[in-house]
Amino acid sequence: MHVKLSSFGRRPKSHDFEVDSDFKIKANTLHISSSCRGPVDKLLFDKELRGKQDNLWKQSCFELFYFQDKRINSYEEWNFSPSNAHQNYSFSDYRTRSDNNDKAGPNFGLSWQMNDNRWDFSLELDFGESKAPELLNICWVLKTSEGISYWAANHPDESPDFHQKRSFLEL
């Protein structure tokens, strides 16, 4: 499935960017490819970060949210920085972190390709014996010296909220 992401509201210079994603589930593995086009050389992120890191959403990054079962309120969040830092969080309910945030989660592989006017991000999440997601929210946070813009397929509320279940896409 192909989705074009839109920026929430009128963030500084967000019109200079175009963001879209393609995703599919095959053999219990979620495949995502996403691109951000525009003046990506102006996007800010900590180039030194590696491994598991908190607060990646405070800078430019790719974010993924998913519900493995749309009938229950628990969901997962993954953040990926262009520096290859990452983090994942489990939630038992809307914005309520669960006690099992140290669990490993699905195996993943990722790659970033960057040039002066485009970032391409690819991700594979292998759910193994676990259930593949039923609802998905693919998002970007783009930070420049002028501010932050929040990108998703849907923005159903008066403020950007990637956790809002109504903004998720059904698989």
pLDDT at 122: 97
Range of the domain at 111: 2-170
Q: Which residues pair with 134 in a beta bridge?
A: none
pTM of the model: 0.94
pLDDT at 7: 93
For the chain (171 residues), the mean pLDDT of every run of 10, in chain order, is: 89 78 95 96 93 94 97 96 95 90 80 93 95 96 91 93 96 89
- Find all residues with CB under 8 Å of 57, minimum gap 6, and list them: 63, 79, 141
Q: Are 157 and 150 in contact (CB under 8 A)?
A: no
Query: Which three-class secondary structure state does DSSP give residue 12?
Result: coil
pLDDT at 101: 63
pLDDT at 104: 67
Could you give the number of structural domains in the chain? 1
CB burial class (10 A; 0-12, 13-18, 19+) of residue 31? middle
pLDDT at 16: 87
- Find all residues with CB under 8 Å of 60, minimum gap 6, and list them: 43, 44, 45, 81, 82, 140, 141, 142, 143
| Residue 10: CATH number of its domain | 2.60.40.1190
